[in-house]
Structure 1
Amino acid sequence: MLDDAGSGQVIGRLDQMLNSGQLTPALTQQARGLRDRLCAGVRVVILGPKGIGKSQLRDVLLGETAPATPPSAFALSIGHTDTRAEQIQDPNVHAETLQNPFLELATVMDVAASDGTEVFSERIRWALSQADIAVWCTQCFSEEEAALWAQASDHLKDHSFLVLTKADALASVGTLQSQIANLQAVAAEEFHSFFPTSTFHAHKALRAGDEISETQLAASGVKALRQTLSDLAASGQRADVDRALLFLQRNETQDAAVSVPAPGKKKVTPQAQTYEKALALLRGRVADLTTAAPQPDAVLENCSTLVEDLAELAAAHTQSDASFDAWRNDLYEASDKVVLMSLENDLRSAADAATIILQLKRDLDIRLAH
C-alpha cells in the first residue's frame, strides 16, 4: 500500500521524479530537500557544558568509539553511510561514517563545547536549529544551561532528553538522589524524558576493545535511553516518509502511482465495521490534505475536523475489546495533539498534523488486513 512505503522506496520515487525533468524549479528544490532529509535520517544533537561527558555518552550509545572532533570543526556528525555523511555541507562540521544499527535511523551530531560563553551560546543556537532530537547532558542544569535551552522551540523540547551524566560520581558524595529529584522536575517541564547515566565502566570496556555487555549497558542507564531514543527516531523517520508521500501524491503522475490491491473478504465484526467506516472517512478526506494549497490554517482545520469526526464515530461504538479500546484512545490522543498544533498554526504544525492523520490511516489499514 502507498502509506506502507519505506524510506528507500520513497527515495527511489523522488529520484525518478527529479530525473524526469518535469518539475518546476520550486518543486525540484522541494523534492531534493525531501530526498536529502530522508537520506540524512533524524538528526540527533548531543549538547551540554564542556567536560560533562557528552562524547563518552555518545560512544556508549553507539557501542563504538567515534573519532574526536578535529580542531577545524565544532561538531562531529556521524552517519551510517558515505551518502549520509555527504549531506553535511557546513564547514564547521566534520562528517564520519560508522556502521551502527542506530545510525540507520539517525545522524548523531556531537557539538563541541567552548570556554567562551558567547561562542558556546552561538554553537548551541546553531545546534538547536539543526536538531530534530536534542540530548542535553548535565549534572545540575544550571541557570546558564537553562538560559541556553530556552532558545529551543516547544516542538524540539517535546522531542528531547535531559541526561544526567556521571551519576556514579554524584552517588559517591551522597547527592545523587536529590539531584535526580531536581532534574526530574526540570525534565517534566522542559523535555520529553529524563535519564540518569553512568558510563565510566562501559566506556572503559569500549576503549579496551571489548563489547559492552547487556548488563553493563543496562547498569549505565544508556540502554533505556537508547530504546526511547530509537523509538522517537523511528517515529520521526516515519513522519519524514509521510511528508514525502504527501509531496508525491500531489505531484506524481497517475501512471507512476502505486496501486492498492483489493483486500480479500474477511469476517466482518462490529469492530471491523467501525474500522471500515473510519477508513472510508479517512480516504475521502485525505485528498483534502494532498490537493489543497499548503496554508497551515486550512490543513489544521481539516485535520481537526477529521479527528473529531473519527472520535465521534469511535464513541458511538457500543461493543469493544482491548484492541478497539486502544484504537479509540489513540484517536482521543491524536485529537488532543491536533488541537495543540492548531494553536501554533505554522507550517511545521500543519505537517505534523497531516502526519498524524496518515498514521491513523495506516493503523486502520493494518487492523483491517489482519
Structure 2
Amino acid sequence: MTRSDATMPVVDRLESVLEAADIPGPYHRWGSRLLSHLRKPVQVVVTGLPGSGKTALVNMLAGRTVLGGQDEAAISEVAYGPDARAVFEMEDGSVAVSAGLVRDVAWPADVRLTRQELPDPRLERQSLVEIGLPADPAQQAARLQEIVARADMILWCTERFDEAEQRLWAGVPDTLKDHSLLVLTMADRQMMRGVLARRIEALDPIVAEEFLGLYPVATMQGITALTAETAVDDRLWASSGGKALAACVAHQVEQGRSSDVDQAQMLLDRLAARTGWRGAKARDMLGVSGARGEVMAVQADNLPKGGEVLLGQAVSLLQTRAREMLEAADSDADVDTDKLLDECVDAVAALAGLMDREGDGTAEGELRADLQDGEEMLLLFQLERGEEAALDAVTLLLQLRKEMVGRIAAAEGAG
C-alpha cells in the first residue's frame, strides 16, 4: 500500500479510531468506505473497443512505453513499486514476477492480469488500468460492469463514439460519468483526413451530458514528446493533446483525493464532538485541537470585509445548515438519508434565494456557477438515495463552503 505524505496522518488516525472506538453504524460504515478509498491510489481505467488506442494512451500517460508487444491480458495495470518489475497473475490465481518491463520479459501461459510496477511518484496517487471491451457485443455489457466496479475515473478511447458505444456508455452510473473523459485517439490521423473538427462538433452535445470533457489526442506524438533523448519536447507534448489530458487527469485525481481527506477529517471532527470523545487522549487520536471538534468553524477575523460580504453570508448559511444536519444525525443510530438529502437541497435553495436578493456582481456570478454545479450533483444524489448519497450530499455542502472561504481569503489578500 502506498499513500502520499498528505493523506497519511488522516488515514492513520481514522484507522485507529475505527479499530478502537465504539461508534454508531453509519459513522463506522462511512469511515470504512473512506479508508478503502484512501488506502489505494485512484483507479484511472482506460477502456474502449479493440483497436481504439488504449495501450498507447496508457503508455503516454505513464511517460514511457511499458505495455504492448506481446500477448494481451484482460487487465493491464501500471502501478507504483520501489523497482521496475512485471507481475503476472494467471487464470488459476498463481503469480509470477520478473524484473524489468512487461513488454520486454517472457510471459507465462494463461495470463489474466499484468501489473507493471514503476518507481514513479505520480503512481502513488493514481494507477493506470487498461481493461478492453471485447469485440463480441454479447460480452460487452458484462465487461463494462467489471470496469465500473473498479474505476474511480474512466478514459473512454474511441475514434468516433458511435451509437453502439453510446448505448454501452448509458449503462455507466452518472456519478462515475461526472469524473470520466472521452478521448478521441489518433487525432492526428483524423485531422489529416479532415474529419476531426466535424467529429468534435458532432460529439459536443453528447459530451456535455455524458462526460466531464472531450480530449482529442495524438498518442504517438505524445509518447515521442515525452521520450525525447534530451528533455521533454513541451511544444510537441502540448500540440499532441497529451499535456491537456494529463493535466485534467491529475487535477481530477487530486480533487478526488482532497475530497476524501476532507470527508475523513469531517468524520473525525464529528466523533470528537460526540459524548465520550472529548478528552485530551481522544483529541490526540482524532487530530483535533479544541475542546470540541468543529466541522465548520469560521473565526470572526476570517469573515469577509467590503465587497465579499455575500460570500460570508453564504459561508455562514452553509455552516449553520451542515452543523444542524450532522447534529441531527448524531441523535439517531440510523441516519434518515432521505431527510438528509432533502435538507441539502433546501440549503442550496436557500443559497439561491440569497443570490436573488443580492444583485449581479463578480462574487455573485462565481457563486451562481458553483450553485448550478451543486444543484446538478444533488439531483443525482437524490436519484441514487441511500446512505452514501446522503453523506456525499453533505460533503458537497462542505466543499462549497471550503471554496467560498478560499475566495474570501484571496479577496482579502488582494485588498
Q: Greater CA deviation, 113-122 or 230-239?
A: 113-122
Matches within 5 A, 1:1-370: 7-20=7-20, 22=22, 31-68=31-68, 73-80=73-80, 93-100=113-120, 102-204=122-224, 211-252=231-272, 253-255=277-279, 256=283, 257=286, 258-259=288-289, 263=299, 265=301, 269-271=305-307, 273-291=309-327, 292=329, 293-317=334-358, 322-323=362-363, 325-369=365-409, 370=412
- Give the TM-score of the pair, scaled to structure 1: 0.81
Residues 30 and 265 from structure 1, CA distance in 2 versus in 1: closer, same or farther, beyond 3 angstroms? closer
| Separation in 2, partners of 1:17, 1:67 | 41
Q: Contact between 2:181 and 2:214, CA under 8 Å: does it hold in 1?
A: yes
- Give 1:220 shift: 1.0
RMSD, aligned α-carbons: 3.6
Q: 1:48 to 1:335 in 2, by over 3 A?
A: closer
In 1, the alpha carbon distance for the partners of 2:49 and 2:239 equals 24
Residues 11, 332 of structure 1: alpha-carbon distance in 2 compared, 3 angstrom cutoff: same
Alignment check: 8 A CA contact 1:132 1:156 kept: yes
What amino acid sits opposite 1:44 in the alignment? V
Structure with max Cα Rg? 2
Q: Deviations over 1:138-177 (max 9, x none)?
A: 1122343233222211222232111111122233334333
One-letter amino acid of the counterpart of residue 43, structure 2: R
Percent identity at matched positions?
A: 28
Higher deviation after alignment, 355-364 or 101-110: 101-110
Query: TM-score with structure 2 length normalisation?
Result: 0.73
Q: CA deviation at 1:340?
A: 5.0
Given that residues 247 and 290 in structure 1 are in contact (C-alpha distance below 8 angstroms), is that contact kept between their aligned partners in structure 2? Answer: no
Deviates more, 1:30-39 or 1:153-162: 30-39
Distance 1:110 1:210 in 2: 29
Note the C-alpha offset of 1:350: 2.5
Distance 2:17 2:303 in 1: 40
Gaps of 5+ in 2: 83-88, 94-111, 291-296
What are the ranges of 5 or more consecutive residues in structure 1 without an aligned counterpart? 83-88
CA shift for structure 1 position 217: 1.2
Q: Structure 1 CA distance, aligned partners of 2:221 and 2:389?
A: 42
SS, match of residue 254 in structure 1: coil
Shift in Å, 1:333: 4.0
SS in 1 for 2:166: helix
Q: 1:43 to 1:307 in 2, by over 3 A?
A: same
Spell out, residue by residue over 1:273-317, the C-alpha distance to the aligned partner (whole angstroms, 9 max, x if none). 544443333333223443414343122111112122233334434
Q: Given the superposition, is the C-alpha separation of residues 359 and 185 from structure 1 closer, same or farther in structure 2, using an over 3 Å criterion?
A: closer
Q: Helix, strand or coil for the counterpart of 1:316?
A: helix
Whole-Å separation in 2 of the counterparts to 1:361 and 1:306 = 12
2: distance between equivalents of 1:330 and 1:271?
Answer: 18
What is the alpha-carbon distance in structure 1 between the residues aligned to residue 171 and residue 314 of structure 2?
40
Report the equivalent of 1:85: none
CA pair 237-300 structure 1, distance change in 2 beyond 3 A: same
Shift of 1:11: 0.8
- Pairs aligned (count): 360
User: Structure 1 counterpart of 2:208, which letter?
Assistant: A
Q: What whole-Å deviation, never above 9, does each CA across 1:102-152 have from its counterpart, x for those lacking one?
A: 435432211145454444443222012222221110112234323322221
In structure 2, distance between residues paired with 1:140 and 1:61: 21
Distance in 1 of aligned mates of 2:27 and 2:367? 36
* DSSP 3-state at the match of 1:140: coil
